[in-house]
Amino acid sequence: MDSSLRLPARAFSRLYPLVLVPFQASPSNSPAMAITHADLSSLRTPRRTDIGNRITLFLVLLSVLCGLSGFVLCLAAEASRSEATWYRLSDGSRSYECVYTGSGRTPLACAVCAFLLLAVAMFAEHAYMLVAVTCPSRPAPAAWPLPDDPLTLSSIGRQLTCALFLATWICFSIAEALLLIGIGVESGHVSQRRQPKPDCHVTRPGLFAAAGIFGLSTVLLGVGLYLTALQAQRLHQQEDNMLRGTAHLRHPHPFPPTSAP
């Protein structure tokens, strides 16, 4: 071979590893994946998730404790509610007068405290729902096993979440309305309760107990709403992952072809 052709051959042999190594850095059987902003932000997700889970657990416990305390106070108000005793006048007429058996301070205080506790419980429910929705969640197991086909049950979960949300607000509104009625009646005879009156307004039996039952139902429905919304959110995430996987199979990432040595 001519000596003039040996120099380019030697130079090419020296440049050959430099040309081939960048293409051999990635195996031919694994496509080149691009690093996105979601991959970088996922490094901070576990810490934010732990903080969100602690806040959510605290708010759930606060809501349950406030609901149970309000229920007990409603039962105490029902047991100590004021009653009226009627007397017939002795002047020969057929008129009657009534006197309250109690001052109404105990049921009034219990009803006011129960009213405030139910309001705090409802506020805590909306707070932990907001934290559960906004906080990023890691792929942990749900409260019950996820279905094999999340596409079919995702809409059902949303409908169930809306139904529980409306039921929670209905029970809360009824409980607060009953407590307001009881507070208005009991506060009307705090002073001058022993003075005979021609008319005495008393709360009907079972009013405070019904308010306590509706308040407790509000808390239980709120916990069920949280679990249902959490499962619906994870179903939606699984649905998004399935759609992303399908899109990745249809449109794979291009990668440079490898050249044989």
Residue 122 lies in a domain: yes
| Residue 195 falls inside a structural domain | yes
Q: For residue 214, how many other CB atoms are within 10 A of its CB?
A: 22
Residue 134 located in a structural domain: yes
- Tell me whether residue 152 is in a domain: yes
Task: Give the H/E segment covering residue 71.
Answer: helix 45-79
Q: For tokens 């169930």, what's the residue?
A: 160
Residue of 205, 202, 204 lying closest to 187 (CA atoms):
202
With contact defined as beta carbons under 8 Å apart, do 181 and 207 qualify?
Answer: yes
Question: What SS3 class is residue 10?
Answer: helix
Instruction: Write the pLDDT tens digit of every residue in 75-85.
Output: 999 998 888 88
Instruction: Work out the pLDDT band at 212, boundaries 50, 70, 90.
Output: very high
Please state the domain count of the chain: 1
Q: Which domain holds residue 180?
A: 50-250
Strand-pair partners of 197: 98
Tell how far CA 39 is from the center of its chain. 27
To the nearest 10°, the Cα dihedral for 221, 223, 228, 232?
130
pLDDT for residue 123: 93
**Residue 259 in domain:** no
Cβ neighbours, 10 Å, residue 31: 12
- Predicted pLDDT of residue 135: 62
The Cα 37–Cα 252 span in angstroms is: 19
**Residue 257 falls within a domain, yes or no?**
no
Token pair belonging to 231: 């499962």
Is residue 144 assigned to a domain? yes
Q: Name the pLDDT band for 7 (thresholds 50, 70, 90).
A: very low
Quick: pLDDT tens for 136-155: 554 444 444 444 454 555 66
Task: Flag whether 25 is in a domain.
Answer: no
71 Cβ contact partners less than 8 Å away, ≥ 6 residues apart: 114, 212, 213, 215, 216
